[in-house]
């Protein structure tokens, strides 16, 4: 393969996958302090520093086992909350930090072994309080609680009667239940626990929302909710749902793009709804095409947004302001300048860069990510992204097909450390939004129904053929690499189309759809009706079970001859370790060499940096051996 030129430095795996020096900054409600994530004892923890003084920043959390990724300011700047699970088991607890008492230990506000807190929300209508769902009473049922942040007291607002997915509590005390009908439609009802009655408000076609309705956020007055609706439309836009009548009123829409769907899968990413910190009112909406578009709904925010977008040619990522709306902390998503973060003062119109998370990464060395559109064999257009190595003639390169998870997710423009590492090694990288990906309208989404290992896989193969026909890729040096659904797609690639790929890396992918669906957590199964059961099949139906097996890589394991690397978190609650064990054991019994990496302290996706470094260092060497790359880390 063409060598990486001398003038382009060979970056190490640690430079891409080590901890950022700083990341995830937000400003306190009173505008006096900034919180951010930074390493402490080799784990990301929350640090706090003053905006106006040179006082030294201090670390306010102390987790040396697992990096903290999600934290929340409260309306009282004394209290900061963060979420943490145990070694990837996804049983998240809510912890409170007292910023006025540096010596105090964090307090676990949900101290229930084996339980998980979900749906954590604060509201401007209830200062000092937050709502959350907990399943410590019954693992299969999530009850609604209100948390008094200062005292830690948990008050039951409603006990789940056993068939409700989520509960809403309005400021005036009304309860709304959100669940599925027998047919899989999504129904919102007003619930009176005392009378035991449900008054239906509105019903949505469940097949339009494989990951439920996202977003679904109460308006500040509690009489409505802002939701992402695609009723009578191919595109998802923001509507205001009247909780009394069920009437939908369009608040904002984009003629071409869906609401940004990514936070439905990765809650560390910003919501598509941008709300005023003081009033809770909607100020702006994020849409996502090849790049992000933010539409301001408030003239004051429009003026702020205009100045913020001048700070970088990237896409505006996280943003937070003080309650006055004057001081802002913003970060940007950028393919070659990841996470650059600024402080902006709207009173003075002055700004200063706070930090770059990865200051050692030179944008001139990193590879541009270019949107491309690839035609599928049936004419469907596949929005995709191509990353080509810097300084290398883009002809007959080794290619890595990087497949996103979900499959109800999408690839998007921005910094991707996996793609950048591979490009730095001289590989072309192709990321394809195959049919069934989210964010491209209902027709594109539903084109994936029944097409696992079928047309969804054909889209990936068509993309490889496109890259070869365009002259970018050497057909004899193509690898496939993916996690979660992308791991399944990787295993499908080497079992259903074994002649296409010269190497494959599966990260926590299901090998047998039947056992995968039978082993997901019990409380999840009732919510699979509009995603896995609709798109793939139900394992309890004999005919569908047979089809699931036929679409499983394990059913064609005898056809696998591609060199394979498998990576798994031992505590993965979504794709259990047995999914990887069974295909590795079967292949090894046939005498095939399979590299198998298991991390005992990880779940569905790795969090701790040393584990990501180990995985990508091994992947680097593995691809070098089988595609002919340099592969030295």
Active site residues: 484, 572, 604
Q: How far is the C-alpha of 458 from the C-alpha of 543, rounded, in Å?
A: 24
Determine whether 55 is exposed, middle or buried from the number of CB atoms within 10 Å of its CB (0-12, 13-18, 19+): exposed
Cis peptide before 112 (omega within 30 of 0): no
Spatial distance between the Cα atoms of 238 and 302, rounded to a whole number of angstroms:
18
What torsion do the CA atoms of 449, 455, 457, 460 make, to the nearest 10 degrees?
Answer: -120
Q: How, if at all, do strands 397-403 and 473-483 pair?
A: parallel
**CB 10: neighbour CB atoms within 10 A?**
14
Report residue 329 as tokens: 């902390």
Beta strand 428-432 pairing with 93-98: unpaired
> Which residues lie below 8 Å from residue 243, measured CB to CB, with a gap of 6+?
170, 174, 176, 188, 190, 201, 222, 223, 224, 225
Q: Beta strand 292-296 with 315-321: parallel, antiparallel or unpaired? A: unpaired
Which residues does 568 contact at the CB level (< 8 Å), separation at least 6?
A: 507, 508, 575, 577, 579, 580, 596, 597, 598, 599
Tell me the torsion sign for CA atoms 483, 486, 490, 496. Answer: positive
Q: Sort residue 467 into left (φ over 0), alpha (ψ -120 to 50) or beta.
A: alpha
Q: How many CA atoms lie within 13 A of 320 on its CB side?
A: 21
């Amino acid at each position: 393969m063409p060598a990486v030129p001398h003038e382009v430095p060979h970056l190490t795996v640690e430079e891409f996958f080590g901890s950022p020096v700083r990341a995830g900054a937000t400003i306190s409600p009173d505008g006096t302090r900034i919180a951010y994530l930074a390493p402490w004892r080799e784990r990301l923890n929350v640090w706090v520093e003053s905006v106006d003084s040179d006082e030294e920043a201090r670390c306010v959390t102390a987790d040396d086992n697992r990096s903290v990724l999600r934290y929340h300011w409260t309306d009282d700047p004394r209290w900061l909350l963060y979420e943490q699970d145990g070694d990837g088991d996804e049983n998240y607890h809510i912890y409170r930090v007292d910023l006025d008492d540096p010596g105090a230990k964090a307090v676990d506000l949900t101290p229930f072994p084996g339980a998980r807190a979900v749906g954590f929300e604060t509201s401007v209508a209830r200062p000092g309080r937050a709502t959350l769902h907990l399943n410590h009473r019954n693992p299969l049922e999530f009850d609604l609680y209100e948390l008094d942040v200062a005292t830690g007291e948990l008050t039951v607002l409603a006990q789940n009667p056993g068939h409700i997915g989520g509960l809403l509590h309005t400021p005036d005390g009304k309860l709304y239940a959100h669940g599925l009908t027998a047919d899989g439609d999504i129904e919102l009802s007003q619930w009176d626990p005392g009378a035991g009655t449900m008054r239906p408000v509105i019903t949505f076609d469940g097949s339009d929302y494989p990951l439920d309705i996202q977003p679904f956020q109460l308006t500040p007055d509690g009489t409505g909710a802002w939701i992402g609706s695609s009723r009578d439309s191919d595109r998802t836009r923001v509507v205001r749902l009247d909780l009394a009548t069920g009437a939908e009123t369009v608040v904002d829409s984009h003629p071409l793009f869906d609401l940004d769907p990514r936070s439905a899968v990765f809650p560390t990413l910003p919501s598509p709804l941008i709300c005023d910190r003081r009033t809770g009112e909607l100020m702006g909406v994020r849409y996502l095409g090849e790049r992000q578009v933010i539409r301001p709904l408030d003239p004051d925010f429009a003026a702020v947004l205009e100045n913020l977008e001048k700070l970088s040619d990237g896409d505006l990522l996280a943003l937070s302001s003080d309650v006055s709306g004057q001081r802002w902390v913003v970060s940007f998503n950028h393919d070659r300048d990841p996470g650059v973060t600024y402080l902006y003062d709207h009173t003075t119109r002055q700004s200063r860069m706070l930090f770059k998370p990865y200051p050692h990464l030179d944008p001139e060395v990193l590879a541009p990510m270019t949107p491309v559109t690839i035609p599928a064999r049936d004419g469907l257009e596949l929005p995709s992204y191509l990353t080509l190595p810097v300084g290398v003639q883009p002809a007959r390169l080794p290619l890595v097909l990087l497949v996103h998870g979900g499959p109800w997710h999408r690839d998007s423009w921005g910094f991707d450390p996996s793609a950048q590492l591979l490009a730095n090694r001289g590989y072309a990288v192709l990321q394809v939004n195959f049919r069934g990906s989210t964010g491209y309208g209902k027709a594109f989404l539903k084109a994936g129904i029944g097409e696992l290992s079928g047309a969804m896989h054909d889209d990936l193969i068509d993309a490889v053929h496109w890259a070869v026909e365009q002259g970018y890729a050497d057909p004899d040096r193509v690898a496939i690499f993916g996690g979660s659904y992308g791991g399944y797609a990787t295993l499908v690639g080497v079992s259903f189309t074994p002649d296409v790929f010269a190497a494959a890396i599966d990260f926590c992918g299901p090998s047998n759809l039947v056992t995968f669906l039978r082993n997901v957590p019990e409380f999840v199964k009732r919510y699979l009706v509009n995603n896995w059961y609709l798109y793939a099949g139900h394992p309890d139906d004999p005919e569908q079970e047979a089809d699931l097996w036929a679409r499983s890589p394990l059913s064609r394991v005898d056809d696998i001859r591609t060199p394979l690397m498998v990576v798994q978190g031992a505590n993965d609650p979504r794709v259990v370790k047995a999914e990887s064990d069974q295909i590795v054991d079967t292949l090894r019994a046939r005498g095939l060499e399979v590299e198998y990496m298991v991390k005992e302290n990880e779940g569905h996706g790795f969090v701790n940096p040393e584990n990501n470094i180990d995985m990508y260092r091994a992947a680097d060497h593995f691809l070098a051996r089988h595609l002919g790359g340099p592969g030295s880390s």
